[in-house]
Structure 1
Amino acid sequence: MFVRIVKMSFHEENIPAFLENFEIIKDKIRNATGNRLLELYQDKTNKCIFFTYSYWETEEDLENYRKSELFNEVWAFTKQLFNDKPEAWSVDKIASLK
């Protein structure tokens, strides 16, 4: 399993549209084959910056999602709202303490 982190920055006036769309599509993303977790975070000091954290069983699962019609629809809508280029990282979890 690995973690995909995506940083997105939005024009302030576009934040409500992003959040509304995320609410509609979040369960579909979470139910994509191989997805084990989906979380959305908002930066505490810059409310225009958001992060998604998603856990995937395999890199192939993430790539299949990224090639899906769902991803294409989500990304086509979301990228119109950005005020900066998004950044993404695929990382392996080393430790998790509870």
Structure 2
Amino acid sequence: MLIRIVKLGFKPEHINTFTANFHKNKQAIRNFEGCEFLELYQDNQNKHVFFTYSYWRSAQHLEHYRQSDLFQQIWAATKPLFNMKPEAWSVNKLETVSV
């Protein structure tokens, strides 16, 4: 399993456009082959900063998504809205601690 964390910063006037586009596409992303989990977070202090958090069965599944028409369409609509360069990390879960 691969976890993908992406940090996205938007121009304040484009936050609603981004969130509407996310809501429009979230089921298609989540249902994409290999996607096991998807969440969207908003920074508590900087309301223009968001994070996507997703689980992928493998790096190959993530790469297949990143090469897909779906991703290309979403990225084309999202890229002009940024006010900072996006950052992304692919990480492996080492441990989960729960009560």
Establish whether TM, by shorter chain, passes 0.5: yes
Matched, 1:20 2:17: no
Q: Which contiguous aligned blocks of 4+ residues in structure 1 show a shift greater than 4 angstroms?
A: none
CA separation in 1, counterparts of 2:97 and 2:79? 34
Distance 1:29 1:48 in 2: 22
User: Secondary structure, in 3 states, of the residue corresponding to 1:94?
Assistant: coil
Partner of 1:52: 52
Q: CA RMSD in A?
A: 0.5
Q: Residue 3 of structure 1 aligns to which amino acid in structure 2? A: I
With normalisation by structure 1, the TM-score equals 0.98
How high is the TM-score relative to the length of structure 2? 0.97
* Aligned partner of residue 39 in structure 2, secondary structure: strand
Partner amino acid, structure 2, of 1:92 = N
Partner SS, residue 97 of structure 2: coil
Tell me how far 1:84 sits from its aligned partner: 0.5
Unaligned 5+ residue runs, structure 2? Answer: none
Secondary structure of the 1:73 match is helix
Structure 1 gap segments, 5+ residues each:
none
| Secondary structure, counterpart of 1:97 in structure 2 | coil
The equivalent residue for 1:64 is 64
Count matched residues: 98
| Percent of aligned pairs sharing the same letter | 54
2:35 maps to what in 1?
35
